[in-house]
Structure 1
C-alpha cells in the first residue's frame, strides 16, 4: 500500500512494436533524413557558398572535413551516452544543435563561420543515425534490430536522393541562405516534438539505477572492450571504406566530376541523387543476401570489389552516355550498402550491452574516412580543376575500397544471436 501523501511513479509497461513505438521511430528517422538532407545538400549549395563567400575549393573541401572529423570524434561517445542516459533528453538536444548549425550555416560569410557551422551541425548529427538505431533496438523486438537499422539508412538515402534535386529546384526561387534558414526552422519544430514525445520504453520492473561516479571512465572502458575485438575493428574499417567513399562522392566529388565531364549542374545533381537511391536499395539488401549465403565475409568482399570497379569507372572511364553514367552512379551507391554489414558484424561480435558503443565506432569510422576522402584530395586540386586533375587525385577512393576489401577478408565467424542490443 502506498503511504499517504506519497505519489506513485509506477507507469504501465510500454508496448514494444506498438503505435507509440512506430511514432517515436518515425520521429527519430525524420531527424536522420533531415540532417542527411542538410549534409548531402552541401554538394548542391557549396558552389554558391564558394562564390558568395569568396572561398577556394580547398577551403570548401576542408569545411566538409571539419563536419566529418567532429562527427567522428563525438560519434565514439554518443552510443555509450545513449546506453547510459537514454533518448530523452539527449536526442532533443541533438536536434537543437543541428538546427543552430543550420542557422549558422545560413550566415556564412567566410571560412571561419562555415567551419563553426559545420562543427555545430556535427555535434548534433553524431546522435542521429546511432540514435535512430538505439530507438529501434529499444522499441522493437530484438530480432528486428538489423531490419530497423537498415530501414533508417534506406529512408535517409531516399531522402538524400530526392533532396538534392529538390534543393536544386528550390534554389531557383530562394537563395541558399533562405533555404538553410528554412532547414533550421524545421529543426526547431522537430525539437519541440522530440521533447514532447520521444522517450525510452517503460518495463514492468526496471532495475535500480547504478551509482556512476565516473561515466567518462566507463565509456572509455566500453570503447576499449570494443576496440579489443578484432571483428569490430575490421567491420569499422570495411564499413568506413564503403560509406566513406560514398559520402565523399555524394557530398562533394560526384557533381564536380560529372560537371568536369561536361554534364549540366542539374544532370550532375540527378546522377548524385541516383547514387543515394542505390544506397537506399543496397542497405537492407546486403543483410538479406548475407543471411541467404550464410556468410558475412564473402558478401562483404564481393560488394566492396564491385563498388571499387564502379567508382573507378566513374572516375576514369570515358563515360559519354547519360544512361551509362546513371547506371554507374547507381551501382556505386548500391554496393556501398555493404556498410550496413559492418554494423551487423560488430553487433554479432560483442556482448549485447555494448551494442551502442560498437555501432558508434563503426559509424565514426564511416565519417572519419569520409572526411579524409574529401580533405586530402581537395588539398591537391588547383583552383579550377579539369577532369584530368580529378583523375590524377581521386585514385585514393578506389584504393581505400581495396583496403576495405582486404580488411573484410580477415573477418572471423560471428555469434548471430548476439546481434541485437539488450533491452
Structure 2
C-alpha cells in the first residue's frame, strides 16, 4: 500500500513516504475533494434559485440530483481501477478539469436538459475525487495510516461543506447563482494547473519484473477482473453496505432533504442551510473519530453497528419528532452527521481486505455504492412528493432513510473478525 513500482521513463529519484512532498500532494488532492464537495452540497442551497430561474418543478430538481449520483456511481466503479492501473498522473488533473467544465455548464442552466448535462459532466470528474484522495493517502503514507488519512479527507470535505453552505448563502446576497458557479469553475481551472505541475505517484525503488512476465491485459479486461475480485470478497461487499447506509443517507440529507425538512417545520432558508452545515460539521468530527474508536476497540464490527443504530435514531427524530426550538434541531442535525462518520469504516474494512494493488478498486466500489444509495434516497421520495409538500408529506415518504441505515447496521453484524482487528 505504501510503495509504487516506478514505470520506465519516471524521474530517477525516490520519494519519501509521509514526507513534505507527500503532504503537498495529499493537500492538493484533498483540496480537490473539498472544492467538489462544496459544489455537490451547494446544490441544496442553489437548487431553489435554479428551480425558480429555469422554471423547473421539485421533481425535476430531485431528478437532476439523482442524475448526478447515478452517473457518479456508474463511473466510480471504473475510476478506482483506472487509478490502480495508471496512477494519479494525469488522471486526477483530467478529473479536476471535468469538474471545472461542469461548473461552467452548471452556471449556464436555463432548462432541465442543460442542468442534466452539467450534472453528468460534474459526476465524471468528481468520481475520481474522494477515491483519488484516498489513493494518494494509500500510496504516499505508510499502510497503517490508510484509514486515518481517508478519515481526514472526509473531515476536510465535511468542514468545507459546513463552511461552504453558509458561505454560498452569504455570497448569494451579493452575486447571482450563475456568477457564484463561474467562480467555482475559475478556481477549478487554477487547480488543474497545480495538479499538472505537482501531482504524481511516489517513485520508490523499482523491482525488476521477470523477463518472462506475461503482458498486462487490456484495460477493460483488467478493470472488470479487479472489480470481480473485489465483489467476490464478502468483506468488501459488507463494507460497501455499511458505507452506503451511512454516507448515502447523509448525502441525501446534506444535499437535498435536510434544508427541505427544516423549512417545512417553519424555519427560513438561512436557518435551514445553517442546520445542514451543522450536519456536515458533525461528519467532519465523526469521520476520523470512527477510525480512532475502532482502533481503540480493536474492532470494526461493533463501532459500525452502534454508530449506524444511533444515526438511524437521529434521522428518525429529525423527521418525526415534534419540535419547534432551534436548539433541538441543532443537536439532532449535528448527531446525524456525527454518527454518519462510521461510513469511513467501510473504506477501512475494504482496504484491509484486499491486496495493495486492488485498493483503488475496493475504495471505488464502496464509494460507488454510497452514491447509488444516495441516488435512490433522492429520486424515490422526489417522485412521491407533491409539487408543494408540507411536513406531513415529507414524513409520509422519508421513512425510507432510517430503514436504509438499519439495513446497514444489519450488514455490520454479519462481519466476521478476530478479537484483534483483521489486517487482511
Pairwise same-fold verdict (TM > 0.5): yes
Aligned twin of 1:242: 246
Q: What CA distance in whole angstroms lies between the structure 2 residues aligned with 1:219 and 1:32?
A: 24
Farther off after superposition, 108-117 or 341-350? 341-350
- Rounded Cα–Cα distance in structure 1 between residues aligned with 2:411 and 2:10: 50
Deviations 1:171-204 (A, max 9, x none): 0000000000000000000001100111111112
1:392-411 matches, cutoff 5 A = 392-411=396-415
How much does 1:205 deviate?
A: 2.2
Query: Could you list the runs of 4 or more consecutive aligned residues of structure 1 that deviate by over 6 angstroms after TM superposition?
Result: none
Q: Of residues 377, 380, 383 in structure 2, which corresponds to 1:376?
A: 380
Q: What is aligned with 1:90?
A: 91
1:139 counterpart = 2:143: no
- TM-score under structure 1 normalisation? 0.95
Q: How does 1:254-293 map to 2 (within 5 A)?
A: 254-293=258-297
Deviation digits for residues 245-286 of structure 1, max 9, x if unmatched? 100000000001000101111110000000000000000111
Q: 2:332 aligns with which of 316, 322, 328?
A: 328
CA distance in 1, matches of 2:282, 2:57: 31
Aligned residues: 413
143-152 or 182-191, which deviates more: 143-152
Post-superposition shift, 1:210? Answer: 6.9
Please say if 1:218 is aligned against 2:219: no
Pairing of 1:311-390 with structure 2 (within 5 A): 311-390=315-394
Aligned counterparts of 2:80 and 2:124: Cα–Cα separation in 1: 13
Inter-partner Cα distance in structure 2 for 1:136 and 1:76: 19
Contact 2:65 2:378 in 1 (8 A): yes
Q: Which runs of 5+ in 2 are unaligned?
A: 1-8
Q: CA shift at 1:155, angstroms?
A: 0.1
- Calculate the aligned-residue CA RMSD, in Å: 1.6
Secondary structure at the residue paired with 2:206?
A: coil
The answer (yes or no) to whether the contact 1:257–1:387 under 8 Å persists in 2 is yes
Q: Structure 2 matches for 1:194-233, cutoff 5 A?
A: 194-208=195-209, 211-233=215-237
For residues 366-407 of structure 1, the C-alpha deviation after alignment (integer angstroms, 9 at most, x for no partner) is: 111001100110001101000000000101101111111111
Please give the alpha-carbon distance, in whole angstroms, between the structure 2 residues aligned to 1:10 and 1:86: 15
Hey, what's the Cα distance between the residues in 1 that align with 2:137 and 2:107?
A: 33
Q: Deviation of residue 417 (structure 1)?
A: 6.4
Gap change, CA 1:23 and 1:278, over 3 Å in 2: same
CA distance in 2: counterparts of 1:81 and 1:113, whole angstroms: 29
Equivalent pair of 2:169/2:270 in contact (CA under 8 Å): yes
- Report the equivalent of 1:152: 153
User: For each residue in 1:23-72, what CA deviation from the matched residue of structure 2 results, as whole angstroms up to 9, or x when unmatched?
Assistant: 11110000000000000000000000000000010100010011110111
Contact 2:10 2:203 in 1 (8 A): no
Of 185-194 and 12-21, deviating more is 12-21
Distance 1:184 1:253 in 2: 26
Question: Match of 1:71?
Answer: 72
Segments of structure 1 that go 5 or more residues without pairing to the other structure are: 1-7
State the alpha-carbon separation in 1 of the partners of residues 417 and 184 from structure 2: 44
Instruction: Tell me by how many angstroms 1:213 deviates.
Output: 3.9
Q: 2 CA distance for matches of 1:177 and 1:190? A: 20
Name the counterpart of 1:53.
Answer: 54
Q: Judge conservation of contact 2:146–2:348 (CA < 8 Å) in 1.
A: no
- Please name the residue that 1:4 is paired with: none
Are the counterparts in 2 of residues 348 and 416 from structure 1 also a CA contact under 8 Å? Answer: no
Q: Distance in 1 between matches of 2:358 and 2:282?
A: 30
- How far did 1:356 drift? 1.0
User: Aligned-pair distance for 1:9?
Assistant: 6.7
TM-score, normalised with respect to structure 2:
0.95
How big is each residue's C-alpha offset from its partner over 1:331-360, in whole Å with a ceiling of 9 and x where there is no partner?
Answer: 000000010011111112222221111111
Q: What SS does the corresponding residue of 2:165 show, helix, strand or coil? A: helix
CA distance in 2, matches of 1:21, 1:27: 10
Report the CA distance shift for 1:395/1:178 in structure 2 as closer, same or farther (over 3 A): same
| Deviation per residue, 1:74-113 (Å, 9 max, x gap) | 1111111101101000000000000000000000011111
Aligned residue for 1:338, secondary structure, equals helix
Alignment partners' CA distance in 2, 1:149 and 1:314: 28
Pick closer, same or farther for the CA change 1:206–1:417 going to 2, 3 Å: farther
CA distance in 1, matches of 2:10, 2:336: 52
Contact map agreement 1:78 1:360 (CA 8 A) in 2 = yes
